[in-house]
A = this chain, B = another copy of it.
Amino acid sequence: MDYNQFKHCGLNVALGILSGKWKAIILYHLFHQESMRFTELWRIIPKVTKKVLLEHLKQMEHQGLLIRSEVNTFPPEVYYKLSDKGKALAPALSALEVWANEYAREEVDLLKSK
């Protein structure tokens, strides 16, 4: 098998971008829902605080994974959605998911049962 296909710099960057307690869930929901309001995300993700959720979203927007748009009404409406860069993560995330379900079943089931 040829492993020369990946050099650690890219891997490092990718894992760095994906690091953060709530990144997986945020990505998961945005892959399934196209566009979501801040509060909607906040309500659907159990136990995150607004502050931390916002920090994650800001960081992801900054990294170009997410696009944020606000509708200037009252109360304000802010929508988050995946950018092309974010969408392009699909195959990699999917591969990670497949790996976890095949090789880390126990941990996955444990997480699911909570």
Chain A interfacial positions (CB closer than 8 Å to B): 1, 3-19, 23-25, 27-29, 31-32, 63-64, 85, 88-104, 107-108, 111-112
Nearest residue, chain B, Cβ from A104: B13
A97 to chain B, nearest CB (A): 4
Of B12, B13, B32, B99, which one neighbours A89 at CB under 8 angstroms? B99
Contact status A108-B13, CB under 8 Å? yes
A93-B11 CB under 8 A given contacts A3-B32, A85-B103, A103-B85: yes
Contact status B24-A11, CB under 8 Å? yes
The interface residues of chain B lying within 8 Å CB-to-CB of A112 are 9
The interface residues of chain B lying within 8 Å CB-to-CB of A108 are 9-10, 13
